[in-house]
Chain A
Amino acid sequence: MRQVSVECRGVRLSYGATAVLRDISLAIEPGEFFALLGPSGSGKSTLLRLIAGFAQADAGELLIDGAEVSARPPWERNVGMVFQSYALWPHLSVWDNVAFGLVERRTPKAELRRRVAEALERVGLAAYGERRPGQLSGGQQQRVALARTLVIEPQVLLLDEPLSNLDKSLRVQMRQELLELQRRLGLTTIFVTHDQEEAMTTADRMAVLDHGVLQQVGSAQALYDQPANAFVAGFVGTMNLLPARVRSREGGCLLLDIDGVGDWRLPAPADEPAGERLLVSFRPHALQVGAVDGAGDAAAVHDAAAALHLAGTVEASEFLGEFTRYRVRVGVQDLVVDHAHRAGRARFPAGAPLGLRLEPSQVRLLPG
């Protein structure tokens, strides 16, 4: 199969006065499994519908395989879409649902029969052709929807929240099946989800959207380790964000005044955001937990490359199995701290003093 690329250039779209997509530019590589990730109302589904031809951009270009397709109606795009609701036609049998697109393409009878049978075979529903969609379970309906789309051999596969209507255990299984199928077919696939775990576990790369603005594009690890801004940092995983003011920048060293906590000295990173106000960010498990060691509130004294030591008080804790998540008050700020769990390790009670250690390499500075 020939693999094709999908590219958006400066796409804008608004419904009335509401801007849904603002200047989206995005290139999806041939054969890539690409996720559009964002909260409700972020514009991710609209972007998907735009690629399918169900929405029309006010400005910008949409290229599939290098050709501008904005003017092409949905039925001429050969872009297969699996709908969130599956949109199986209740008046047609499973077989007729799958055969629909081939009938539209005037496929000869014998070939049609062969291809529909193959498609049903591929999703493990060969025996279910006579059934009506209503007689199938959610997971089976999902597979029929997939077979119906794949049978027309689309250039690009679009999946709109493909797993959201399934229960949790089935979701993990379908996720695996989808991924295997995509790897096998090598089909350029774009899927929309609001579930960051789903995106991170399946997608080669993903784009995070919020309020119609593209926040960041990259692999799961890139987004997790180097979030571009506070939104991405908070949406992909959990992040501690501390507002800070820059006191001085000198000799590759930054002196920061963390609001309500005190002064921190950090090595200046290469991509240091400009401006007076910054956000200091680090993951909950980047904080190492230890007893208070006396050097606690001397944080401002030591040099930039050395670890930071913080003293705090446990406010609350949740036991999550793999780790215990603490809410720790440091100064006036609450930090989330994940402490890996081992059998027999006791929980720190509320009110207990806690010493925290943080490697500067784990700290990322974001624009404030």
Chain B
Amino acid sequence: MLRRAGAGAAPGGRRPGVGAWVAGALVLAFLLLFLLLPVGKVFVTAFVEGDGTPTLGHFAAFFQQGLMREAFFNSLLVAGLSALFAALIAVPLAYFTVRFQFRGALLIQTLGVLPLIMPPFVGAVAMQLIFGRSGSVNLLLGEWFGWNLPIMEGLAGVVFVEAIHYFPFILMNLTVALRSIDGAMEEAALNLGCRGWRLFWRIIFPLAAPGFVAGASLVFVKVFDDLGTPLVLGQTNLLAPQAYLRITQVGLEDPLGYVISVIMIVFSIAAMALSAKLLAGRDYATTQKGGGALQRRRLSPLGAVAAYGWIALVLLVVLSPHLGVLLLSFAKVWSFSPLPDAYTLAHYATVFQDSGGMIRNTLLYCGLAAGLDVVLGVTIAYLMLRTTLPARRWLDWIATASLAVPGIVLAIGYLRLYKGVMLPGTDVLLTGSWLLIMLAYAVRRLPYALRSCVAALQQLHASLEEAAENLGATPLRTIRRVVVPLMAGGILAGFVTSFITAAVELSATILLTSAESQAPMSYGIYLYMQSVAGRGPGAALGVLAVVVVAVGTYLSHVVVERTQGRLAPAGKGSGSSNA
């Protein structure tokens, strides 16, 4: 049945009410104060002299310094190589799950989540202990074969840790893209005599390419902006650590810190714009009504051995930071030996004694930030999809743009913009309070919550709301009684995603934490890991963080599944049949 214009989109052409204007203004004010202005301040500072005259001198100075040039190229190299290696891990795994009928598919699904629940800077220390020069693997290799695998040396270590951590982004995006390919596409190619590798390269991969590009560009941006991993691994000749060192050691006035920030943002935006451009108009979700997905084949015995072998290898490497951190948290002494020499529970005792405040802080900041995110997310989603407020798309674009702002850049912007500003009604410096940490989390994780809310609202057929209005409910009552309850699953998923990703965020935290009493867990782990003696408690705290994140991820998964299960059968009621 053909739906007429206006149905399913914004309720046809009604003028936005006062409420919509107020909500839009509040959202815009938040984005201005805590995203646009701070980042704008960073940009301005990078382009003006101390007295305010515009200049490109800072950039010239940046590229004249050998150290800076090196950091710049190192960052590009590390981000590029990380994306490449992540792709090498992810592409076969994604292909296996979609193409073959075997039990490994479930294993791969799990593989896809495991790395994400462990912040890379936590895993990095464990990776040193396992893959480092005197780590377990190299000790064994040296003993048995007399040679070493220098995989954790220098920048290679960063690439290794990042690739292991971020490959799930490619895996998940690519799997979805592969799943949505219509089996008939492949059958048509087979029918015309194309098969095997040629079939993969000429038909399947091009059709799934949008998913791959989306995932790979995300990996590039994430690695390019990462501060924690290189810091923990002691690799400071990269852009993010350089910006951090400039600001913390030279001072908030040093222009080079701002220049680096601008370069990081520009590259993040460029990578995203490039992927958006590549993806533009290439929605290859080709599954059609009645059409099936790619045909699943049975693996040949040899193929099964190869597939399981690859999966086992990846699983082993992917799990190594988890195992390492766990071992480290129980290890009394662990150096120059493949496994710890003795075990203890003392680290956990230390953590619970010293770090109760940190755990509480993490729950407080992340809870508030995630709560703020879903409120903003629902508001923006509603304004965008259900009202005709002018420029409403801009709210979405601005909120999403925060993906391109590295945590350290946002933190620098806050410190600079709110320098000397007091909390209203008190004589506490805003930059000295935990409010900014919480707000930085909220801004940085807003895109996750927003996407979740937008997706949830998009699935709601507008007629569900029109029916409520038709029966006498005002728009506000409709939102309360129909929209929010029906979006509950998406809202909760958004909350949890924001919460758990904020819980392991380090780059903004590290700059904005001004007193140990305000420190969240991520900062605590980083502090502990700075000293050899602190590794044990650091690992214990890391295990706690991973548990928090894992439980949160699992819970959100359960809730989303359940709400979908509850709402899905109402096929006609939810309008999915004729949207």
- Residues in chain A within 8 A of chain B (CB atoms): 15, 18, 20, 40-41, 43, 45-46, 49, 52-56, 73-81, 83-91, 100-101, 104-105, 132-135, 138, 141, 148-149, 152, 161, 164-165
Contacts of A46 in B (CB 8 A): 4-6, 12
Known contacts being A15-B6, A45-B7, A134-B568, is A78 close to B472, with CB within 8 Å? yes
Does B2 have its Cβ within 8 Å of any Cβ on chain A? yes
* Nearest A residue (CB) for B466: A54
Contacts of A91 in B (CB 8 A): 485-486, 488, 566-567
Q: Which of B2, B13, B15, B464 contacts A55 (CB 8 A)?
A: B13
Known contacts being A45-B4, A54-B6, A90-B567, is A104 close to B486, with CB within 8 Å? no
A56 touches B471 (CB 8 A): no
Does B1 have its Cβ within 8 Å of any Cβ on chain A? yes
Least CB distance, B20 to chain A, in whole angstroms: 13
The interface centre, meaning the residue of B468, B475, B485 with most chain A CB atoms within 10 A of its CB, is B468
* Nearest A residue (CB) for B464: A87
Interface residues of B in 546-577 (CB under 8 A from A): 566-575, 577
* Nearest B residue (CB) for A81: B470
A104 touches B471 (CB 8 A): yes
Q: Which of A15, A74, A83, A161 contacts B5 (CB 8 A)?
A: A15
Expressed in whole angstroms, the Cα–Cα distance for A221 and B292 within the complex equals 48
Q: Which of B469, B568, B575, B577 contacts A73 (CB 8 A)?
A: B469
A74 touches B569 (CB 8 A): no
Q: Which of A18, A100, A135 contacts B471 (CB 8 A)?
A: A100
Does B467 have its Cβ within 8 Å of any Cβ on chain A? yes
Does B248 have its Cβ within 8 Å of any Cβ on chain A? no
Least CB distance, A327 to chain B, in whole angstroms: 29
Expressed in whole angstroms, the Cα–Cα distance for A169 and B52 within the complex equals 79
Contacts of A89 in B (CB 8 A): 464, 467-468, 482, 485-486, 573
Least CB distance, B570 to chain A, in whole angstroms: 3
Q: List 5 A-B contacts (CB under 8 A).
A: A41-B2, A75-B474, A86-B573, A100-B468, A141-B573
A74 touches B6 (CB 8 A): no
Least CB distance, B290 to chain A, in whole angstroms: 18
Contacts of B4 in A (CB 8 A): 20, 41, 43, 45-46, 49
A104 touches B473 (CB 8 A): yes
Does B461 have its Cβ within 8 Å of any Cβ on chain A? yes
Known contacts being A55-B6, A87-B575, A91-B486, is A133 close to B570, with CB within 8 Å? yes
Least CB distance, B143 to chain A, in whole angstroms: 62
A134 touches B571 (CB 8 A): yes
Expressed in whole angstroms, the Cα–Cα distance for A149 and B470 within the complex equals 9
Q: Which of B470, B571, B573 contacts A79 (CB 8 A)?
A: B470
Expressed in whole angstroms, the Cα–Cα distance for A83 and B574 within the complex equals 12
Additional pairs, 11, CB under 8 Å, beyond known A20-B5, A54-B11, A83-B467: A45-B4, A79-B470, A88-B573, A89-B468, A89-B486, A132-B570, A133-B573, A141-B572, A152-B471, A164-B1, A165-B578
* Nearest B residue (CB) for A96: B481
Known contacts being A78-B472, A85-B575, A165-B577, is A104 close to B477, with CB within 8 Å? yes
* Nearest A residue (CB) for B6: A55
B574 touches A90 (CB 8 A): yes
Tally A-B pairs: CB < 8 A.
Answer: 148
Does B14 have its Cβ within 8 Å of any Cβ on chain A? yes
Expressed in whole angstroms, the Cα–Cα distance for A363 and B491 within the complex equals 65
* Nearest B residue (CB) for A161: B1
* Nearest A residue (CB) for B575: A85
The interface centre, meaning the residue of A20, A105, A134 with most chain B CB atoms within 10 A of its CB, is A134
Known contacts being A85-B575, A85-B577, is A90 close to B470, with CB within 8 Å? no
A85 touches B471 (CB 8 A): no
* Nearest B residue (CB) for A74: B469
* Nearest B residue (CB) for A103: B481
Expressed in whole angstroms, the Cα–Cα distance for A53 and B473 within the complex equals 13
Contacts of A73 in B (CB 8 A): 14, 469, 474
Known contacts being A135-B569, A149-B471, is A81 close to B466, with CB within 8 Å? yes
Interface residues of B in 431-475 (CB under 8 A from A): 461, 463-464, 466-475
Provide the B468-510 mask, 1 if CB < 8 A to any CB of A, else 0. 1111111101000110011010000000000000000000000
Contacts of B14 in A (CB 8 A): 54, 56, 73
Q: On chain B, which size bracket covers the interface?
A: 35 or more
Provide the B214-236 mask, 1 if CB < 8 A to any CB of A, else 0. 00000000000000000000000
Expressed in whole angstroms, the Cα–Cα distance for A87 and B464 within the complex equals 5
* Nearest B residue (CB) for A104: B472
* Nearest A residue (CB) for B9: A15
Least CB distance, B490 to chain A, in whole angstroms: 13
Expressed in whole angstroms, the Cα–Cα distance for A80 and B469 within the complex equals 10
A100 touches B570 (CB 8 A): no
Least CB distance, A196 to chain B, in whole angstroms: 16
Expressed in whole angstroms, the Cα–Cα distance for A20 and B464 within the complex equals 23
Contacts of B477 in A (CB 8 A): 104
Contacts of A80 in B (CB 8 A): 470-471
Contacts of A132 in B (CB 8 A): 566, 569-570
Expressed in whole angstroms, the Cα–Cα distance for A75 and B3 within the complex equals 23
Least CB distance, B6 to chain A, in whole angstroms: 6
A81 touches B467 (CB 8 A): yes
Known contacts being A56-B14, A134-B573, is A87 close to B1, with CB within 8 Å? no
Q: Which of B470, B569, B570 contacts A52 (CB 8 A)?
A: B470
Contacts of A41 in B (CB 8 A): 2, 4
* Nearest B residue (CB) for A160: B463
Contacts of B577 in A (CB 8 A): 85, 165
Least CB distance, B8 to chain A, in whole angstroms: 10
A54 touches B12 (CB 8 A): yes
* Nearest A residue (CB) for B485: A91
A56 touches B470 (CB 8 A): no
Least CB distance, B504 to chain A, in whole angstroms: 33
Expressed in whole angstroms, the Cα–Cα distance for A54 and B7 within the complex equals 9
Least CB distance, A82 to chain B, in whole angstroms: 9
Q: Which of A54, A76, A90 contacts B486 (CB 8 A)?
A: A90
Interface residues of B in 1-38 (CB under 8 A from A): 1-7, 11-15
Contacts of A105 in B (CB 8 A): 472
Least CB distance, B38 to chain A, in whole angstroms: 38
Interface residues of B in 134-180 (CB under 8 A from A): none
